[in-house]
Amino acid sequence: MSEFDDRLIADPPRKARVSQFRPVVWLVIPLIAILFQVYVPRFVQSLSYLELPLLVTVYFSLMRRQPIAGGLIGAAIGLAQDSLSQHPLGVFGIVMTLVGYFAASVSLRFDVENLALRFMLSFLFFLFHRFFFWLISRSLLGLEMDIELAQMVILGFLNAVVAIPLFFILDRLRTESR
Amino acid sequence: METFLSRYRNLSVLLLLIVAQLLLLAYQVKSNQDVRLIRVWAVTAVTPFARLVEWVRDGTGGLISDYILLRDVRNENKALREELGRTRVENYFLKAELAAADRVKALQDAQVKMPSKTLIASVIGTGTGSNSRVVYINRGSTAGIKRSMAVITPEGIVGKVIAAYPTASLVMLVTEQNFAAGVISQKNGVRGILRGQGTSVLTVEQILNESKVEQGEWFYTTGEDRIFPRGLPVGQVKLARPGRNFMEVQIQPSGLASGIDEVLVVIDGVHGEIPPPGTPPSPGVQILPAPPKAGPAEGAAATDPASPDTAAATHPAAQPPSPAAAEQRTDADRLKEKYRRIGEAQNHVYGAGRRSPDFTKAPPPPGPPPAQNPAAGQPGATTTAPAQPPAAPAAKPKPDTPGATERSKPPVGTIPPGRP
């Protein structure tokens, strides 16, 4: 076996890496994201468009590359969001479960450290999140919610823009990849 | 089966998670009950952090502003601009402090003047979700907050409590889509149902096209929703036009106009009246200061149960007459005092005997007030213990008696028939 082959085996391609985080990161980062959403828009109204819990869910699911783990992460963060909202428990929970699951599934096929792909996935998952939230609110809760496509696309774009530096910061919290 | 589960393990777990949450959701919707424990845990876990952040923000806000903002100013302009900048920043903070103090003062004033029992609370956070129109306040069930309590400001209604946790409460704002309340227009008395739209304006539904609603007209709460006491301002009509079935009425909410940093939670609501058109839309009542001292015989009315002040005290809710109230003398009080002194000078007891005192004689100079009936100063006592007996039936007036005209005056402390 050549030296080149050895290096390939020792250092798996980025596409197949699974990131590891300290347990405290799993707890603190979602908490900060939820606190941000609860607290910051009170002072900076314009930041209410930021869906940090969603971005954190997408990031952890992408990095974890395990659909089950992604679904569980999404469910936990979504239920925490539900607990602090006026909606019944489960609305955000179901949506975020789906987001986490599909984000982790997507990560099995793509190199999730690519910036363009991260941007695109953040944008798409924002639209996915909004659409399913609207669908569940309308079909299960009977709420008459309007969906404004143009506004949704703009907000998705803004969230995707924020996702790039946020993911970069979160990358620094990784302990190892295997 | 086992093979199926192991083969589709990911999908099975996903379905399990979704079905579990759907069941949770269905249980809540079906039973109309919340899974309170999970929410209590979440809120109790998050609110200490929110309080901590608020505390840190309070502590470091001045430092950041003093340092970072002034550094920019220093870089732009040298010493003079620096001084100006510092003054401006100080001025800004003083204004902010003043505004905050004014807000709290206004709330306290409103709290005192409002008939309803209220509790001041501060907003500490917003709900999750970017389209959320709910806020958290720093008072919870331990402070006596309960679900469905009204939340208001002196300017108008703000929302209602939809969940009360031990350390905080969740308030649904009037702008939230699910919000509804009964309202009535001030000028024309048109009733409708106020609804939030998820935007900054509210709508009033169920108003017939034939009804008269004018632009700029105020809407007030009716109290029929059993949440908001009657008579609280809601907002001004921004748009009113005939619709397909019902009139389209949009309202600019007045309670959210100047921000909602501090709010009042109505603990024990008391219905008020809809103020007549033209009066300022405030739940508070303006109380004028006491008039200046009127005459030398002050103090008598305070102890006189027949005086208007003491008469007011007969109302169960009224207080005993205060020294300030004693200053509010009337002509009737002064006349009564004059008659009392004349009676004392002539050793005449009103209501006893057939003779009446000579009212033509000048009364002696004012002396100390008469011995007070011990019960007279106590609220409620005056209803059963009149200090002065009713005047004796007037003796037949002698036409040549100078005091005849005086005698025909009504006895002190009684209201002549036919007068209010």
Residue pLDDT, tens place only, A39-90: 888 777 788 888 999 999 999 999 888 899 999 999 999 998 888 888 888 8
**Residue A11 DSSP code:** S
Most B-contacting residue of A31, A35, A47, A89 (CB-CB within 10 A), to test interface: A89
Whole-number pLDDT of residue B52: 79
Determine how many CB atoms are found less than 10 A away from the CB of residue B141: 17
Subunit contact B125:A42, Cβ cutoff 8 A = yes
Instruction: Report the complex ipTM.
Output: 0.79
Contacts of A42 (CB under 8 A, 6+ apart): B123, B124, B125, B126, B135
pLDDT at A119 over 90: yes
Whole-number pLDDT of residue A112: 82
Subunit contact B125:A67, Cβ cutoff 8 A = no
Determine how many CB atoms are found less than 10 A away from the CB of residue B12: 14
Q: How far is Cα of residue A125 from the mean position of the Cα atoms in its chain? A: 8
Q: Which residues of B touch A97 (CB under 8 A)?
A: 14, 17-18, 21
Whole-number pLDDT of residue B343: 83
Three-class SS state of A123: helix
Question: Across the interface, which of A31, A42, A91 has its CB nearest the CB of B25?
Answer: A91
Is B149 within 8 Å of B161 (Cβ atoms)? Answer: yes
C-alpha separations of B106 from A77, B153, B282 in Å: 40, 9, 11
Whole-number pLDDT of residue B326: 47
Total count of domains within chain A? 1
Whole-number pLDDT of residue A78: 92
Distance CA B85, CA B70 (A): 6
Type and span of the H or E element at B247: none
Residue pLDDT, tens place only, A92-118: 999 999 999 999 998 888 888 889 999
**Residue B246 DSSP code:** B
> Packing angle between helix A67-83 and helix A91-107, nearest 10 degrees?
150
Three-class SS state of B153: strand
Q: Which of B354, B349, B294, B355 is nearest to B324 (CA)?
A: B294
Question: Across the interface, which of A41, A84, A143 has its CB nearest the CB of B43?
Answer: A84
Subunit contact B50:A39, Cβ cutoff 8 A = yes
Q: Whole domain around residue A161: which residue ranges? A: 3-177
pTM: 0.53
Q: How many CA atoms lie within 13 A of A47 on its CB side?
A: 14
Token pair recorded at residue B162: 């939809």
Subunit contact B125:A140, Cβ cutoff 8 A = no
**Residue predicted with more confidence, A167 or B412:** A167
Most A-contacting residue of B9, B14, B55 (CB-CB within 10 A), to test interface: B14
Whole-number pLDDT of residue B378: 39
Residue pLDDT, tens place only, B259-315: 788 888 998 888 887 777 766 555 444 444 455 555 444 444 434 444 444 333 333
C-alpha separations of A66 from A107, A109, A176, B9 in Å: 8, 12, 16, 11
pLDDT at A154 over 90: yes
Question: Across the interface, which of A42, A50, A71 has its CB nearest the CB of B17?
Answer: A71
Subunit contact B178:A91, Cβ cutoff 8 A = no
- Asked if the C-beta of B19 comes within 8 angstroms of chain A's C-beta atoms, the answer is no
- Asked if the C-beta of B43 comes within 8 angstroms of chain A's C-beta atoms, the answer is yes
Subunit contact A83:B42, Cβ cutoff 8 A = yes
Chains A & B: contacts with CB separation below 8 Å: 136
**Chain A, nearest residue to B53 by Cα:** A39
**Residue predicted with more confidence, B344 or A13:** B344
- Asked if the C-beta of B205 comes within 8 angstroms of chain A's C-beta atoms, the answer is no
Q: Which residues of B touch A82 (CB under 8 A)?
A: 128
Subunit contact B128:A94, Cβ cutoff 8 A = no
Is B199 within 8 Å of B191 (Cβ atoms)? Answer: no
Whole-number pLDDT of residue B2: 63
**Chain B, nearest residue to A47 by Cα:** B130
Q: Which residues of B touch A86 (CB under 8 A)?
A: 127, 132, 134, 162-163, 170, 172, 176, 178
Min Cα–Cα distance to chain A from B57, Å: 11
Min Cα–Cα distance to chain A from B314, Å: 48
Min Cα–Cα distance to chain B from A93, Å: 7
Contacts of B163 (CB under 8 A, 6+ apart): A86, B34, B39, B147, B169, B170
Q: Which residues of B touch A67 (CB under 8 A)?
A: 10, 13-14
Q: Which residues of B touch A76 (CB under 8 A)?
A: none
Mean pLDDT, rounded, of chain A: 85
Residue pLDDT, tens place only, B175-197: 988 899 999 998 888 899 999 88
Q: Pairing between strand B202-205 and B248-253?
A: antiparallel
With a CB-CB cutoff of 8 Å, which residues 150-179 of chain B face chain A? 162-163, 170, 172, 176-178
Strands, E assignment, B311-383: none
Distance CA B405, CA B65 (A): 80
Q: Which residues of B touch A55 (CB under 8 A)?
A: none
Distance CA B383, CA B379 (A): 9
Proportion of chain B in helix, strand, coil states, percent, rounded to 5: 35, 20, 50
Subunit contact B25:A94, Cβ cutoff 8 A = yes
Q: Which residues of B touch A75 (CB under 8 A)?
A: 17, 21
Distance CA B181, CA B157 (A): 10
Question: Across the interface, which of A51, A80, A86 has its CB nearest the CB of B130?
Answer: A51
Min Cα–Cα distance to chain A from B10, Å: 6
pLDDT tens for chain B, 420 residues long, are: 566 667 788 888 889 999 998 888 888 877 776 667 777 888 887 778 777 777 777 777 666 666 666 666 666 667 776 677 667 777 777 877 777 777 777 777 777 777 788 888 888 888 877 677 889 998 888 888 998 899 998 888 999 999 888 889 999 999 988 899 999 998 888 899 999 888 888 999 989 888 888 888 899 998 888 889 888 889 999 999 888 888 999 999 988 887 788 888 998 888 887 777 766 555 444 444 455 555 444 444 434 444 444 333 333 333 444 444 444 467 777 778 888 888 888 888 777 766 777 877 777 766 554 444 444 433 333 333 333 433 434 434 444 434 433 444 434 433 334 333
Long-range contacts of B348-352 (CB under 8 A, 24+ apart): B350/B388, B350/B389, B350/B391, B350/B392, B350/B411, B350/B412, B351/B388, B351/B389, B351/B390, B351/B391, B351/B392, B352/B389, B352/B392
